[in-house]
Chain A
Amino acid sequence: MTISAERPEVVEAMVPPAIVEPRKGRRGGEWLSQHVGTATICGFLGYLLGHWLGNYIGSAYPYIANSGQNALAALLALMFMVLGWLLGIGALNYPLAKLVGREAKGDVEYSGWTRYFRYNLDHKVVGIQYVVGVLLFFFTGGLLAMAIRTELLNPTVHVFSADTYIKIVSEHGTIMMMMASSVIVGPLGNYFVPLMIGSRRMAFPRIEAFSLWTFIAGYFVIFSALAYGGFPTGWTGYAPLQTQAGPGMVSYLFGFAVISIGMMTAGFNLAVTIINYRAPGMTWSRVPVFVWSIIATAALLTLASPVLAAAGLFGLLDRTAQTAFYVTEHGGSSYLWQNLFWFFGHPEVYIMALPGFGIVGEIIPVFCRKPLFAYRIAAAGMIGVALLSFFVWQHHLFQSGINPDMRPLFMLTTELISIPTGFIFLVGMGTLYKAKIRYEVPMLFCMAVYFNFLIGGISGVFLSDVPVNVTVHGGFFVLSHFHYTIMGGLIFAFFAGLYFWLPKMTGRAMNKKMGLWHFWTMFVFFNLTFFPMFIIGLLGQPRRVFTYAKNLQTLNEFSSIAAFCLGASFLIFVANLMWSQFIAPEKAPSNPWDSLGLEWQTATPIPYYNFERIPVIMTDPYHYSEIGAPTLADFGDAQPAYPSSSVATSTDPDQ
Chain B
Amino acid sequence: MGSEENDLRRIVIIWVVLSVVGDLLYWLFVGPHVPPGRMTTTAKDNQFDFNVLMLIALPVMIGVWEWLGYAAVRWNARRKDMPESVGGPVAAGNKRAEVSWIVITTVAVLFLAVFGIVALYAGNGSGGGEGPNPIQQPAGAVKAETAALAGNGSWSPNSNEVLPVQVIAQQWKFTYRYPTFGGFESPDLILPVNTEIAFNVTSLDVIHSFWAYQLEVKADANPLENNVAFTKTEQLGNFEVRCSELCGIWHGAMFNPGKVVSESAFMTWASSTESKNATNTANLPPFAWTYAPDANGAAGGYYPDGGVTPYSTVEIYGSKQPS
- Chain A residues within CB distance 8 Å of chain B: 61-63, 66-67, 162-163, 165-166, 232-234, 236, 238-241, 243-244, 322, 324, 327-330, 334-335, 368-377, 398-405, 407-408, 411-412, 415-416, 418-419, 422-423, 425-426, 429-430, 432-439, 447, 450-451, 454-455, 458, 461-462, 464-471, 473-475, 538-540, 542-549, 622-627, 629
Docked-complex contact A450 and B220, CB < 8 angstroms: no
User: Is there contact, CB below 8 Å, between A429 and B131?
Assistant: no
* A398, B128: Cβ atoms closer than 8 Å: yes
Q: B116, A411: Cβ atoms under 8 Å? A: yes
Chain B residue at minimal CB-CB distance from A537? B35
Known contacts A327-B302, A468-B49, A623-B87; is-contact A404 B130 (Cβ 8 Å): yes
A439-B78 Cα distance, complex, nearest whole Å: 9
Q: Which residues of B contact A425 (CB under 8 A)?
A: 64
The answer to whether A405 and B113 have CB atoms under 8 Å apart is no
24 pairs from A and B in contact (CB 8 Å cutoff): A165-B252, A234-B246, A240-B205, A241-B246, A241-B298, A243-B299, A322-B302, A330-B302, A335-B222, A371-B92, A401-B226, A419-B109, A433-B71, A436-B82, A436-B85, A451-B65, A470-B216, A474-B209, A540-B35, A540-B242, A542-B211, A542-B251, A547-B253, A622-B92
Contact of A401 among B49, B220, B301 (CB under 8 A): B220
Chain A residues with CB under 8 A of B133: 403-404
Chain B 118-147 per-residue mask, 1 if CB under 8 angstroms from chain A, else 0:
011001011111111111100000000000
Contacts of A432 in B (CB 8 A): 67-68, 71, 75
Please give me the 6 A-B residue pairs with the lowest Cβ-Cβ distance, nearest first. A545-B252, A63-B306, A625-B87, A474-B244, A626-B87, A401-B227
Complex Cα–Cα for A400 and B71 (A): 44
- CB-nearest residue of chain B to A398: B128
Contact (Cβ within 8 A) A470 B126? yes
Given contacts A324-B299, A402-B131, 20 further A-B contacts (CB under 8 A): A234-B246, A241-B247, A241-B298, A327-B302, A328-B224, A329-B224, A370-B85, A374-B94, A377-B98, A404-B130, A404-B134, A411-B113, A418-B109, A432-B67, A433-B75, A434-B86, A435-B71, A464-B116, A467-B45, A471-B218
Q: Assess the B109–A236 pair: CB atoms within 8 A.
A: no
Among B4, B83, B218, B306, max chain A CB count under 10 A is at: B218
Cα distance, A649 to B310, chains bound together (Å): 76
Residues of A within 8 A of B246 (CB): 166, 232-234, 236, 238, 241, 543-544
Q: How far is the CB of A422 from chain B (nearest CB, A)?
A: 4
Q: How far is the CB of A72 from chain B (nearest CB, A)?
A: 14
Tell me which residues across on chain A come within 8 A of B243, comparing CB atoms: 542
Q: B128–A163 contact, CB under 8 A?
A: no
**Chain B contacts to A: CB under 8 angstroms:** 4, 7, 34-36, 42, 45-46, 49-50, 53, 57, 60-61, 64-65, 67-68, 71-72, 75-78, 82-88, 91-94, 97-98, 101-102, 105-106, 109, 112-113, 116-117, 119-120, 123, 125-136, 201, 203, 205-207, 209, 211, 213, 216-220, 222-227, 229, 240, 242-253, 292-293, 298-303, 306, 310-311, 313
Q: How far is the CB of B317 from chain A (nearest CB, A)?
A: 10
Given contacts A244-B206, A436-B82, A450-B64, contact A416 B35 (CB under 8 A): no
Q: Give the complex CA separation of A474 and B211 in angstroms.
A: 9
Per the bound structure, the CA–CA distance linking A464 and B128 in Å amounts to 13
**Chain B minimum-CB-distance residue to A549:** B240
> Nearest Cβ in chain A — how far from B137, in angstroms?
9
CB-defined contacts of B134 to chain A, threshold 8 Å = 404
Would you call B225 and A328 a contact (CB within 8 A)? yes
B302 x A544 contact (CB < 8 A): no
A565 to B112, CA, bound (A): 38
Q: Complex formed: what's the CA distance from A434 to B82 in Å?
A: 10
Q: How far, in angstroms, from A470 to B134 measured CA to CA in the complex?
A: 16
Residue of B75, B87, B91, B113 ringed by the most chain A CB atoms within 10 A: B91
Q: Which one of B86, B87, B128 lies within 8 Å of A470 (CB-CB)? A: B128
A61 to B304 CA separation, bound complex (whole angstroms): 11
CB distance from A444 to the nearest CB of B (A): 10
Give Cα distance in the complex from A63 to B309, angstroms: 13
Least CB distance, B156 to chain A, in whole angstroms:
29
Assess whether A399 is in contact with B219, with CB atoms less than 8 Å apart.
yes
Question: How distant is the Cα of A590 from the Cα of B142 in the complex, in angstroms?
Answer: 74
